[in-house]
Amino acid sequence: MVTAEMDMAGRTLYLPRMPFGGSRLLAAAFHSIGFDARVIAESDARTLELGSKYTSGDECYPQKVVMGDFMRLIEDEHLDPKTLAFMIPTANGPCRFGQYASLQRVVLDEAGFDEVLILSLTSADGYAGIGEHARELIRTGWRAVVANDILMKMLLKTRPYEVTPGDTDAVYLEGLETVAATLARPNVATKEKLADIKAALSRVKGAFLSIPVRDEDRPLIGVVGEIFCRLNTFSNEELIRHIEAQGGECWLAGVGEWLWYTNEEQFRRYREEKRRVSKDWLKTYLTKRIQLGDEHALMEDFHDVFHGYEEPHVTEIMEMAQPYLPQSGSMGEMVLSTGGTVFFHGKGADGIVDISPFTCMNGIITEAIYPKVSREHDNIPIRVFYFDGTQSDLERDVGIFLELAATYKRRKKVVRT
C-alpha cells in the first residue's frame, strides 16, 4: 500500500475532481487540520495527451485522466516535486481501482519525480498518511461528503427548471464556498462544527429556493455507474448537462453511497474472518453510528425539499441487487449500479443511465444484466454510456434515450411522488 510519509510540511496536496464540489469541500476539511489542499485544475486536451504518454493503454480511462492531470502540474506548471503531494483514493475490490496509487508511484519514480508524495487514504492502514489528525479529518471529511451530496442534489433538481440559465450553477458554486469556509475552520469542537455546517447549508438552501423556476414535467433519469466517470464531468463529457438540455432531469448517485458500501464490505470481511467480536469490529461499528448521526443531522433540514428524492441506505441497494448479483460473489459498483437501477425504478424514474469508462469491468457486467433488470421492471429504459475520451455522437444518443424515457413515462406503472 502506498501512503504518504507523515511530513507534509511545505507541500500542497492536489485532489482529483470526483466530483469538483466534493473535492472542494474535502480540500476544506484538509485545511482544517493544517494541510494546504487544492482541487486539481479542470482537465483538458493536454490531460489526455499526458495521460496517454504515461500510461500503456491497458489502464482504465479514469487512471488516464488522473495521471494526465497530475503530470500536467509537473510538466507544464513546472512545480517543484518536493512541494507536491497527490491524493489518490484506493479501495479493496475486484477491479483495477486498487492499483491506481501503485501505478502512479511507479510512473512518478521512473520519470524521476520520486520526491512527489502520494497520499492514498484507506481505512486498511488506519489512515496512516494523515498522522495524528486522522480521526478529526475523517469526521470532517465525511461531513464534507454529505454536504456536497446535498448541494449536488439541490443543483440537479433545480437547474433543469431555472428561468435564467446559469442561476443554479452560480448558487451551487457560491454555496460550496460558504460550506467550505465552515469546514476549513481549525480547532472547532465537533458539535459546534456540525451546527456551523447546518447553518451554512441552511443559508445555501434558501438561495437555491429563491431561484426563479419554471413548472415543467420532465422525465426523471437515474444516473448510476463507475464512481469516477460518473462524477467527473470531464470524463463523462457533461452527460448530465446534455440530458438536461434535451429535456430531462437527473438524479445522480452520490459519493456517500460508496463510503457506506465500503463500510458494509468491512463488516462482511469481519464476518468471513470470524472477527465479529473484535476491537476492530467495534471501531467500525462506532464509526458507522457516528457517521449515521452526522448524516441524519445534516439531511434533516432538507427533508421537505427532498420529498420524493429520499436516498436509500446502501444495504437496501445491496438487497435490490441481490437477485441479479449475489453478494457472496459480486462486489463494487456493479452491485451499486444494479441495485440503484431497481431503486430508481421504484421511485418512479423514467429511465436509467449508467456512466462507465470503456472496458470497465463493472460496466461490462451491468450491461449484460440490465436487459433482465429492465424486463422485470416494466421494461424501463436502461442505457450504458461508455466514455474513453474519443468523440461520439452524444447529442444523438441522448436524444434517442430521452425519447424512450418519454414513452415509458406515459405508460409506467410506478408513479413518482
Closest contact distance (angstroms) between CB of 243 and ligand SF4 is 21
Residue 358 per-residue DSSP state: T
What distance in Å separates the CA atoms of residue 261 and residue 331, rounded to the nearest whole number? Answer: 10
* 12, 85 Cβ separation under 8 angstroms: yes
Between CA 299 and CA 294 the distance in angstroms is 8
How does strand 117-119 pair with strand 249-252? unpaired
- 225-244 positions binding ligand SF4, by CB under 6 A: 226
Q: Is 333 in the site for ligand SF4 (CB under 6 A)?
A: yes
- The CA distance from 51 to 9, in Å, is 28
Q: How many CB atoms lie within 10 A of CB 270?
A: 17
User: According to CB under 6 A, which one of 14, 97, 370, 385 is a site residue for ligand SF4?
Assistant: 97
State phi, psi for 370 to the nearest 5 degrees. Answer: -55, -40
* Contact status, residue 152 vs residue 188, Cβ threshold 8 Å: no
Q: To the nearest whole angstrom, how small is the minimum distance from the Cβ of residue 34 to ligand SF4?
A: 31
N-term to C-term CA, the chain: 46
Q: CB of 176 within 8 A of CB of 24?
A: yes
Return d(Cα 13, Cα 16) in angstroms, integer.
10
Size of the site for ligand SF4 (CB under 6 A): 11
Residue type, position 200, single letter: A
Residue 172 or residue 234: which is nearer to ligand SF4 going by CB? 234
Residue among 226 and 350 whose Cβ is closer to ligand SF4: 226
Interface with ligand SF4, residue 256, by CB under 6 A: no
Smallest distance, ligand SF4 to C-beta of residue 96, A: 4
Binding track over 10-49 against ligand SF4, x by CB under 6 A: ----------------------------------------
The string over 43-63, giving b where at least 16 C-beta atoms fall within 10 Å of a residue's C-beta and e elsewhere, is beeebbebbeebbeeebbbbb
Residue 17 or 157 with smaller CB distance to ligand SF4: 17
Nearer Cβ to ligand SF4 (194/355)? 355
Task: Give 13 or 334: the residue with its C-beta nearer to ligand SF4.
Answer: 334
- Residue 88 makes contact with ligand SF4 by CB under 6 A: no
- Pick one of 53, 96, 241, 347: the residue that binds ligand SF4 (CB under 6 A): 96
CB 351 within 8 A of CB 383: yes
Is 265 a residue that touches ligand SF4 (CB under 6 A)?
no
> Site residues for ligand SF4, window 284-303 (CB under 6 A)?
none
* Residues numbered 355-394 forming contacts with ligand SF4, rule: CB under 6 A: 357, 360-362
Least Å distance, CB 119 to ligand SF4, is 19
Q: Which is nearer to ligand SF4, 14 or 97 (CB)?
A: 97
The DSSP element (H or E) to which 12 belongs, if any, is strand 12-15
Contact segment (CB under 6 A) with ligand SF4 among 92-100, 261-269, 297-305, 316-324 equals 92-100
Between 105 and 412, CB nearer to ligand SF4:
105
- Site for ligand SF4 contains 340 (CB under 6 A): no
- Shortest Å, Cβ 146 to ligand SF4: 23
253 binds ligand SF4 (CB under 6 A): no
Residue placing its CB nearer to ligand SF4 in the complex, 93 or 131: 93
DSSP labels, 239-295:
HHHHHHHTT-EEEE--SHHHHHHHHHHHHHHHHHTT-SSSHHHHHHHHHHHHHHHHH
Query: CA 245 to CA 241: how far, in whole Å?
Result: 6
Closest CA to 222 of 412, 396, 380, 394: 380
- Using CB under 6 A, which of the segments 31-39, 90-98, 287-295, 365-373 binds ligand SF4? 90-98
Cell 461508455 identifies what position? 386
- Report the site for ligand SF4 in 46-75 (rule: CB under 6 A): 60, 62
The residues binding ligand SF4 (CB under 6 A) are: 60, 62, 95-97, 226, 333, 357, 360-362
